[in-house]
Amino acid sequence: MNIRKILTLSKKEWLEIWRDRVYFTMAFIFPFVMMMVLGFGMSFDVEKMPFVIVDYDQSDLSREYSHKFISSRYFDYKGHLKKASDADELIAKADIRFLLVIPPEFSKNLKQGKPAQVQTQIDGQFTYRASMVKGYVSAITAHFNSELTQDWFAKKRGISKQELQAMLAPVTLQTHYLYNNELKSIWSTGTGMIMLVMLVAPAMLAALGVVREKESGSIFNIYASTVTPAEFITGKILPYILISYINISILSLAAVLLFEAPFKGELSLLMVSNLLYVASAAAIGLVISTFVKSQAAAALIAMIGTMIPAMMYSGLMMPVASMAAEAKIEAHAFPAMYQLEILWGTYLKGQGWQELWPNLFVITGFLLLYWGVAVLRFHKRVKA
Amino acid sequence: MDFAVQANQVCKRYRKKTAIEDISVDVRTGEIYGLIGPDGAGKSSLMQCISGVLTYDSGEIHVFGQCIDSEKTAEKIKHRIGFMPQGLGLNLYPDLSIEENIDFFANLRGVSAELLTQRKEMLLSVAKLTSFKTRAMKNLSGGMKQKLGLICTLIHQPELIILDEPTTGVDPISRRDFWEMLNRLVMEEGMTALVSTAYMDEASRFHRLSVMHQGKVLEQGSADEIVSKSPGWVVEIETTQPDQVLATLRTQFEIVEQLGQMVRLVAFGQDKNTIESILKNLLNSEELQWHFLPIGLEEFFIQRLKNHSATAEKQLQKQPDLISKSHAKNNTADTSALIKADKLVRRFGNFTAADQVSFEVRPGEIFGLLGANGAGKSTVIKMLTGILPPSEGAGFVANQNMAHSGMAIKESIGYMSQAFSLYLDLTVLENIKLFGRIYGLTGQKLKERIDWVIKIGHLQSVQNETAGSLPMGKRQRLALGCALIHQPKVLFLDEPTSGVDPIGRAEFWRILVRLASDLGVAILITTHYMLEAEHCHRLALMQAGKIVAYDTPYALKQSLKQRKGQVLSFKVTHPYRALSCLEKAGYQDISLFGNRLQLFSKEVKDVSNNVINILKNNQIEVKDTMVLQPSLEDVFVDKIETALAKHELS
């Protein structure tokens, strides 16, 4: 490998990107916009669900029950309606996500010691959200039930509420969430987005960089010259690594500043791993470029080929441990999972070199593998 | 004899298509070898195989004695060759300046810093590009891009340079400059050059060449040798009544065609005196003037292919008496201009693409708009068809201002370009039907027009084949037919014959001539081929947005003849040495064409004797001497040079 030739290639590539202002701007704006859109858009929190109440009973008890919902931080109370059918349009227009119906005989039944039925109608389009809402509604209802029971016992037996509570619910649960104390999903997805975006963007840029030359015909300069495939691939990838490293550093900072995620671990580890990760992502792009001839195909394949594994098989959407066997293999065969472990480890868990050094080795391994495949697949004497 | 390239029975197939078949080519060291042929002849594939950037299926290629049969063996010769792929400036980097482009190529090739400085300076000055060093490549003219491409290919002092269609798409003067530069460098550096071209008239630039067609070599040797295999003459006859002369000559000669105000006759296998006496018998020699030209490669190519395939011959023989009487129009009544450009100006930002362009095209007239890529031809056509509003001036079609005329007038325009949008997956018939429906034709009328298009384009035998499977020539005729489906009065043709082989072009022009003469269609055509320009009744040459010449081909050539004289052409034994001897002796503007030297002269006899003497004193033998009429290309080089000189003065 001749260093001068590599640097010549890199310099030319850099000048071309730098002077093509549209391309240059896109190279920086695209990852940032993608991170913002996906980070804020892919929140899994079920909070402030808008809802309305139809109270046919209009009693103290029904108001007390309603109040439990109105005061919850998970729900956003939008008002009372006269009859249940009025809510149809609101649900259809997605102005509210569910509706709570309290029947006319609610308090009468309860006071007579009979069971009373309440109804909730939930927008079931997103099953995850619907089951979360159902869970909250059930929990509030259960809590209301136990309060009623406690009141009844307190009146009957004349013992204090505290004593009653100890008798009826001897086990109380104290929950403490580790790593993401407030259970804010943006802390996790937001930092995870760095892994996703910085796999897609470098791969696309690098793939386009090579295929652009194939389309214009300037690739023949390389074919007809004495440059070796290794020199070409290396010279070509360096500017894209530089651009992508600047990008991933911006995004890493944005996670803290804009998503308000904490950073608890070792910064030096993250900085090293970021570099290796964007390099291996760019190398994926070069591998892709050896298969295709048009820029459209390169962009599409780079996009899909990196987005799907990074989204589905990295542990971002679902923990790797709970994946099916084949999916697990897929997850381990891609650098995304290892980088996600590093990101979550450094941001949320406060980890550093001691815990995460093996991941660096794996990512370096992927980088060398992809680089090698690209070099072996790049031929200077082509078939067509 | 040392060989730079020896290719032996090389075959290359892409999935379905055979690109080259059993081709054998030997290139000697120190010569300029040409591959000449239309698009799809296999020139690019062969050059890429020789450069070691493309695999081939069978046969053997040796470059400097090294067999090229794998990626590894190909690497061994790459430091000795320079390869410039097809497409004007496409292998250069648009955002990099001239100097940065050169530096990139040099560093890629590991050229040392001192050598780079020295060679860069030398090459830039030969190419006259030194003062544009810092200009970005994307802002260069076609001719400059072409020269920069050559510099980048030469920067590492290769022993063999392989140039794929370096002269396509540039103006005649840039082409001439390019050949001068190449001649000089090949001579000075002792290089070998393998160059391809689609222009048959460039054949004389090569020492030896291969004429290629559809993946095969038709002939090999020097241009003179090849042409001498079918000896004969071309006679151009000036006349005011081409129809009559044409009819008379047809009785005696096989190949006669009308070119504007001129009849051109090609006679193979007859000597000058025989032809002269036949002409004297047939024509009134006092009224008519004619002159003899040697057979060119284009005529040879057509003749050779005629013998090659019987079907092609049949097609050429069949004269299109196909324009039905019902559509024939009386074109004598109305002679006011159908197309009129009135001081058209178009600016893009502070760049003026068209500057005060004025001309007229009358019914039945074929008008040629010529110029290099980027000279402003397409801009003018766009303004005349109402696609682009002019910044100043106006374009008229049938007296309607195209800037704000309705759809009605646009429907009387037919438009066809090289990139004409035929639907390649539809059959010929489906394509015609589709275009007919787009123009609102239905029922019996549509059927009539479809029959007419098929007849005029000779497409009977391929009606149900997909457009994509047709050869270029037939595809262009189909495109022309589709442009004519709604019987337009005005026809705009933007480089319609680019890349079509000479037979296809001849056939295409035969249709155009009939359209103009029988139907009175006004035709505006742009072309790169000088021989096609001769077909036009009138010509306008554009240079940097301006019209620099506007007249009939005959008048243009006559005025040049009066100013600069005739062309003397000498075939010599040592062309490079002969050139420098003559330059030392004070002769200027000598052009080198392979083994021939050409110069203008008013006193043909004196200059001729003088040149022969000078060369004889230097032990150079003059094998033959010819006196030629100035060609249209000479006219254009002269006009553009004058325009450039004026530009520099102001």
B525-557 pLDDT, tens per residue?
988 777 788 888 899 998 888 898 899 888 898
Interchain contact, A224 vs B74, CB within 8 Å: no
Residue in B55, B85, B109 nearest the CB of A220: B85
The pLDDT score that the predictor gives to residue B228 is: 85
Whether the CB of A19 is below 8 Å from some CB of chain B: the reply is: yes
Arithmetic mean of pLDDT, B354-369: 92
The pLDDT score that the predictor gives to residue B320 is: 47
What is the number of other CB atoms lying within 10 angstroms of the CB of residue B468? 12
Q: Which residues from A are below 8 Å from B54, CB to CB?
A: 381-384
The span from the CA of B499 to the CA of B417, in Å, is: 12
- Copy the structure tokens of residue B237: 């006859």
- Copy the structure tokens of residue A2: 């001749």
Q: Which residues from A are below 8 Å from B104, CB to CB?
A: 8, 11-12
Q: Do domains B3-226 and B326-555 have the same CATH topology?
A: yes
- Copy the structure tokens of residue A32: 């940032």
Whether the CB of A375 is below 8 Å from some CB of chain B: the reply is: no
The pLDDT score that the predictor gives to residue B313 is: 43
Interchain contact, A16 vs B70, CB within 8 Å: no
Least CA distance to A378: which residue of chain B?
Answer: B71
Kindly report which listed range (B104-108, B338-342, B419-423) carries the lowest average pLDDT score: B419-423
The pLDDT score that the predictor gives to residue A179 is: 81
B211 near B230, Cβ under 8 Å? no
What one-character DSSP code corresponds to residue B427?
Answer: B
Q: What percent of chain B has pLDDT over 90?
A: 31
Kindly report which listed range (A14-28, B149-163, B497-511) carries the lowest average pLDDT score: B497-511
* pLDDT confidence bin for B645, thresholds 50/70/90: confident
Q: Which residues from B are below 8 Å from A235, CB to CB?
A: none
Least CA distance to B94: which residue of chain A?
Answer: A16
Interchain contact, A381 vs B105, CB within 8 Å: no
A307 near A334, Cβ under 8 Å? no
Tell me: the pLDDT tens digits for A189-233? 889 999 999 999 999 999 999 999 998 889 999 999 999 999 999
- Containing B120, the helix (H) or strand (E) segment is helix B113-126
Out of 3.40.50.261, 1.10.10.10, 3.90.1150.10, 3.40.50.300, select the CATH number for domain B3-226: 3.40.50.300
Domains of chain A: 3-43+184-377 (no CATH), 49-168 (3.40.1710.10)
- Containing B268, the helix (H) or strand (E) segment is strand B262-268
Strands lying side by side in the sheet with B400-401: B351-361, B339-348, B392-397, B400-401
The pLDDT score that the predictor gives to residue A299 is: 94
Residue B390 has pLDDT above 60, yes or no: yes
B80 near B116, Cβ under 8 Å? no
Tell me: the pLDDT tens digits for A282-295? 999 999 999 998 99
Arithmetic mean of pLDDT, B417-433: 83
- Copy the structure tokens of residue A210: 């090579």
Residue in A2, A12, A382 nearest the CB of B93: A12
Residue B330 has pLDDT above 60, yes or no: no
Interchain contact, B54 vs A381, CB within 8 Å: yes
* pLDDT confidence bin for B221, thresholds 50/70/90: very high
A259 near A179, Cβ under 8 Å? no
The pLDDT score that the predictor gives to residue B318 is: 47
* pLDDT confidence bin for A31, thresholds 50/70/90: very high
* pLDDT confidence bin for B406, thresholds 50/70/90: low
Interchain contact, B108 vs A218, CB within 8 Å: no
Arithmetic mean of pLDDT, A110-115: 84
The pLDDT score that the predictor gives to residue B40 is: 81
Least CA distance to B152: which residue of chain A?
Answer: A221
Interchain contact, A218 vs B136, CB within 8 Å: no
Whether the CB of A377 is below 8 Å from some CB of chain B: the reply is: no
Q: Which residues from A are below 8 Å from B110, CB to CB?
A: 2, 4-5, 226
Whether the CB of A293 is below 8 Å from some CB of chain B: the reply is: no
Q: Residue B252, Cα to own-chain centre: how many angstroms?
A: 30
The pLDDT score that the predictor gives to residue A248 is: 96
* pLDDT confidence bin for A272, thresholds 50/70/90: very high
Q: What is the mean pLDDT of chain B?
A: 86
Pairs of CB atoms within 8 A across A/B: 88
**How near does any CA of chain B get to the CA of A380, in Å?**
6
The domain made up of B227-318 is a member of CATH 3.30.70 = yes
Domain-by-domain residue ranges, chain B?
3-226, 227-318, 326-555, 557-649
B506 near B302, Cβ under 8 Å? yes
B421 or B461, greater pLDDT: B461
Interchain contact, B96 vs A15, CB within 8 Å: yes
Q: B interface toward A at CB cutoff 8 Å? A: 14-15, 48, 51-55, 70-71, 74-75, 78-79, 81-83, 85-87, 90-93, 95-96, 100, 104-105, 107-110, 136, 152
Q: How far apart are the first and last CA of chain A?
A: 27
Domain topology for B326-555: Rossmann fold (3.40.50)
What ipTM was reported for this prediction? 0.80
Whether the CB of A220 is below 8 Å from some CB of chain B: the reply is: yes
CA angle, residues A17, B113, B107, in degrees to nearest 5: 35
The pLDDT score that the predictor gives to residue B646 is: 82
B84 or B501, greater pLDDT: B84
* pLDDT confidence bin for A375, thresholds 50/70/90: very high
In the CATH scheme, what is the code of domain B557-649?
Answer: 3.30.70.100
Least CA distance to A222: which residue of chain B?
Answer: B108
The pLDDT score that the predictor gives to residue A42 is: 73
Tell me: the pLDDT tens digits for B268-315? 888 888 888 888 888 776 677 788 888 888 888 888 877 655 444 444
Interchain contact, A217 vs B51, CB within 8 Å: no
Residue B329 has pLDDT above 60, yes or no: no
Q: What is the mean pLDDT of chain A?
A: 90
A220 or B647, greater pLDDT: A220
**Which stretches of B269-362 are DSSP H helices?**
272-282, 297-308, 310-317
Q: Which residues from A are below 8 Å from B108, CB to CB?
A: 5, 8-9, 221-222, 225, 227
Interchain contact, A218 vs B91, CB within 8 Å: yes
